[in-house]
Amino acid sequence: MKKLGILQKVLEVLMMPINALIEGFKALTDWLGFTDHAGAKAAENEKKRNEERLAQMEKMQAERKKNFDAEQSEFDRRIKLMAAEGKSTEELSKQKIQASIDYQKQLVAEQKNIVDNQYKVEEMLRQNGLMTAAGTKLKELEEEANNNLYQSQQSLLNAENDLAVAEAESAKRAKEDAKKKADVYKEYKKARLDAARSIKDLEISLIKDATERELKENKIKYDRLIADLKTNEKLKADEKKRLTELYTTIQAEEDAKIQKKAKDEQKKQAEEIADGLKEILEQNKKKKQEDAMNELNRQNEAYLLIQSLTKTQYDKDREALQTQLTERLALVKGNAEQEKAVRADYAKQTRLLEIAEAEKRREAILTLATTTNEGLNQLGQLFINDQKKLEQFQKATALVQIGIDTAKAISS
């Protein structure tokens, strides 16, 4: 309303020269003898129109101020409600500031018009020589109008600055929101990638063949390293290219090592199997040799036992003959003829006993020779690896067996 008051004062100043002209016109018409009713009427009508314009301007400004305040209050209510609901008030706040800017621009335009009118009035008074009467008053009004214009301009600048700040903050928040969304999406993609890689790792771990599993693991390892290179924003294109080449070369070298390791392992297993079979064959051969030797020893022990038993019986029979001889000589003691006959019979019985003993020993020797020859034949088959030598050995043992059989035939 203060700004409306200055309009009233300006209009009053504007009316001062008009009123002065009216008074001068009246004086002139009076001096000439004409009536002054027309001039008075014109001045009165002009004054009335100015008053009506002022009243209309005051009414319009008051109504506009009322509407502006109501609009700002409505903005405040809506902003408060949206904030309580957790909604963004950013756009609504900018609309409120923009409405204030529009209102301030209109006020500035009006203040400029007032100042321009002041300059026009001052010029008109100066041209009509009436500046002295209204000059001081007009200067005061001019200063007040300029001050009001300055205040309106400052209010407009502040409002425009508020809008610029709001726009900058809005852009900053939009950038931060975009970054947050990008980070969230990046984390989401990473989680999906990690899950996919974990599943793949578990699938590879189920591969039973060790070589195939290691080759798969090596391939996945370098595939992932190369894939991560493509999304690494810190690396240059030439660096990514070089690292990709190095990863590919290293993967090929490690694949070759894995395959060589598998071949070496297969060779080692084959050698271990061959050594195991050889050891088994050696053990079987050794066992057969030991069994053959044990059989020979058993047969020899049996022969010695038979020989011991046979010899013992022979000794018993000799002792029995000796006892009989002693007893019979005691019975015919003093009879030379009978003693001679007893001794002759003893000699005969002893000879028969020796012949029988010799026969038994010969049979035992032939049996032992046969058994020994058979054992030697078996040993030859076990120890002689050369087929020709084995055949010669077998021929020799066959000849020995023929000799033994011949000896048996002769003795029988």
Instruction: Compare 184 and 30 and report the one with higher pLDDT.
Output: 184
pLDDT of residue 14: 52
pLDDT of residue 64: 80
**275: which residues sit within 8 A by CB, 6+ positions away?**
none
- From 219-223, 358-362, 398-402, the region with the lowest mean pLDDT: 398-402
pLDDT of residue 94: 82
State which of 40-49, 225-234, 300-309, 398-407 shows the largest mean pLDDT.
Answer: 225-234
For the stretch 231-285, pLDDT in tens is 888 889 999 999 999 999 999 999 999 999 989 888 888 888 888 888 888 888 7
Q: Residue with structure tokens 């931060």?
A: 176
Q: Residue with structure tokens 């970054």?
A: 179
Q: Which of 249, 201, 248 is nearest to 226 (CA)?
A: 248
Burial profile 122-140: b = 16 or more Cβ within 10 angstroms, e = fewer: beebeeeebbeebeeebee
Domain ranges of the chain: 2-170, 191-268
Other C-beta atoms closer than 10 Å to the C-beta of 399 total 11
What does the mean pLDDT of the chain come to?
73
Q: Quick one: CA torsion of 61, 67, 73, 74, rounded to 10 degrees?
A: -160
For the stretch 119-138, pLDDT in tens is 666 666 566 555 554 455 55
Whether residue 347 has pLDDT greater than 80: yes
Angle at 95 between CA 92 and CA 98, to 5 degrees: 155
Determine if the pTM surpasses 0.95: no
